[in-house]
């Protein structure tokens, strides 16, 4: 067996991988669900555990040779318990969507009812969109944000729950900039006899660091992904009280998945260890400060933010007021050309389409990992405003690309 490098075996893939590192280095990654993991997390994820099958759970595997896999998974679980204060943790879901599937399979039957936030109001596909397994297996109704304030309409949610009588209420969102009031959702769930699943995929890191309130100990189930604000190995996680532990574990394996991706579980363990440090708390605090600063700068430039600001790592800009003829797609394309990578996003009351919506979503987790602070956020906000304003002007895009490149060079990424 030869142990050659990717470059020796497959130069085309080696080129693509190197160019991806350059792309991440030379531009601002502002997709709110992305981050830059450490070298240590990457090393764990590309370790020999990629070769190992370990169906089952530590101490109860269906294959031999799992002693090191057991150690890795036990450490990931104990660190997660310490980070989020959960009774029971399952670190095997391959993704946040798989974590949600694990919860649904654990406690719902096909055709049971789910009440969740509409995708165009900040929800997620796996909360019950008709194109997703959750929308196909279950009967789904969706709640919305208050059209005036952009905040979750908790009273509307209660009234809708009363009418619909759901078996599960889903809170936790992927394009909602405000702090979620978990207790209020839990109250509605208790009043209607529904389970409450809080999907903290976007804010796992903010919750772990205490800069966003935690649903652990409030909601029946807390799910998340492990590579966004928490900056660990790629995948998903489920947390719950001990009474649901067996149901959750068997819903994940053998219910929804086969062998866990043990190399990713190792990446989770390493990232969780990093997140237990006081530096991580400082990082998470700065992620939110940076998002607030960016929001203020954009507002000074006349942009409208859904809900008027942010309490989290993300901003949702509704372009309809400030730039009625510019779509989210126009803005996304022009910004990418200028070195600022974010995504076009639907906004509450969307009047265009999901493919070319009226908003853009911007997040600060990755640029904060690079070391950006208040001063850089001012420059980033000015740059976003100028590019959107002149989105069809190539000269402006070229000038901004130079400025962004200089900012990136001042905050190098994976510099060795
Ligand atoms: N793709 C993620 C996001 O961008 O919000 C969610 O799965």
Name the closest-CA residue to atom 3, ligand 1.
Answer: 33
Ligand 1 pocket check: which of 32, 94, 174 to mutate, most ligand atoms within 8 Å of Cβ?
174
Closest atom of ligand 1 relative to the 31 alpha carbon: 4
Q: Would you say the CB of residue 174 lies under 6 angstroms from ligand 1?
A: yes
How confident is the model at residue 53, as a pLDDT?
A: 98
Find where tokens 């990418």 sit: 336
**Token representation of residue 411:** 């905050």
Structural contact between residues 55 and 73, judged by C-beta atoms closer than 8 angstroms: no
- Answering whether pTM is above 0.95, one says yes
Q: Would you say the CB of residue 142 lies under 6 angstroms from ligand 1?
A: no
How much distance in Å is there from the Cα of 182 to the middle of ligand 1?
A: 21
Phi, psi of 81 (to 5 degrees): -60, -40
Structural contact between residues 153 and 124, judged by C-beta atoms closer than 8 angstroms: no
Closest atom of ligand 1 relative to the 126 alpha carbon: 7
Query: In the chain, what are the domains?
Result: 43-275 (3.40.640.10), 278-410 (3.90.1150.10)
**Distance from C-alpha of 258 to C-alpha of 163, rounded to nearest angstrom:** 38
How confident is the model at residue 416, as a pLDDT?
A: 61
Closest atom of ligand 1 relative to the 96 alpha carbon: 7
**Distance from C-alpha of 46 to C-alpha of 57, rounded to nearest angstrom:** 21
How confident is the model at residue 2, as a pLDDT?
A: 76
- 319-342 residue pLDDT tens: 999 999 999 999 999 999 999 999
Ranges of residues in the chain whose predicted pLDDT is under 70: 416
Task: Report strand pairing: 195-199 vs 221-225.
Answer: parallel
How much distance in Å is there from the Cα of 365 to the middle of ligand 1?
A: 13
According to DSSP, residue 277 is labeled: S
How much distance in Å is there from the Cα of 172 to the middle of ligand 1?
A: 12
How confident is the model at residue 33, as a pLDDT?
A: 98
Closest atom of ligand 1 relative to the 202 alpha carbon: 5
Name the closest-CA residue to atom 1, ligand 1.
Answer: 33
Q: In sequence order, which ranges of 278-373 are alpha helices (DSSP H)?
A: 278-300, 319-322, 328-337, 365-369
């Amino acid at each position: 067996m030869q142990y050659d490098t990717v470059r020796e075996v497959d130069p085309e893939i080696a080129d693509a991988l190197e160019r991806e590192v350059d792309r991440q280095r030379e531009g601002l990654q502002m997709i709110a669900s992305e981050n830059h993991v450490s070298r240590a997390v990457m090393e764990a994820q590309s370790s020999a555990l990629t070769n190992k099958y370990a169906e089952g759970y530590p101490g109860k595997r269906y294959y031999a040779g799992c002693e090191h896999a057991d150690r890795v998974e036990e450490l990931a679980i104990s660190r997660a318990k310490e980070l989020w204060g959960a009774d029971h943790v399952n670190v095997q879901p391959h993704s946040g969507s798989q974590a949600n599937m694990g919860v649904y399979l654990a406690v719902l039957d096909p055709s049971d009812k789910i009440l969740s936030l509409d995708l165009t109001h900040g929800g997620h596909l796996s909360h019950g969109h008709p194109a997703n397994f959750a929308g196909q297996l279950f009967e789904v109704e969706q709640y919305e944000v208050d059209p005036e304030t952009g905040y979750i309409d908790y009273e509307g949610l209660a009234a809708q729950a009363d009418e619909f009588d759901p078996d599960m209420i889903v809170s936790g969102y992927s394009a909602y900039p405000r702090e979620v009031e978990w207790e209020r959702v839990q109250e509605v769930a208790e009043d209607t006899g529904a389970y409450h699943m809080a999907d903290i995929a976007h804010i796992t890191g903010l919750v772990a660091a205490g800069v966003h309130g935690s649903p652990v100990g409030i909601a029946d189930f807390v799910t998340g992904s492990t590579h966004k604000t928490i900056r660990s190995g790629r995948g998903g996680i489920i947390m719950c009280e001990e009474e649901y532990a067996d149901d959750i574990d068997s819903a994940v394996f053998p219910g929804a998945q086969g062998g866990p991706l043990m190399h990713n579980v190792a990446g989770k363990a390493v990232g969780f260890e990093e997140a237990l440090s006081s530096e991580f708390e400082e990082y998470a605090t700065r992620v939110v400060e940076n998002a607030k600063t960016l929001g203020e700068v954009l507002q000074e430039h006349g942009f409208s933010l859904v809900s008027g600001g942010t309490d989290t790592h993300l901003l949702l800009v509704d372009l309809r007021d400030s730039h009625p003829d510019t779509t989210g797609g126009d803005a996304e394309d022009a910004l990418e050309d200028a070195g600022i990578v974010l995504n076009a996003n639907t906004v509450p009351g969307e009047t265009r389409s999901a493919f070319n919506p009226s908003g853009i979503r911007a997040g600060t987790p990755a640029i904060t990992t690079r070391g950006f602070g208040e001063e850089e956020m001012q420059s980033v906000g000015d740059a976003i405003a100028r590019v959107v304003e002149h989105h069809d002007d190539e000269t402006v895009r070229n000038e901004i690309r130079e400025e962004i490149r200089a900012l990136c060079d001042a905050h190098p990424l994976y510099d060795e």
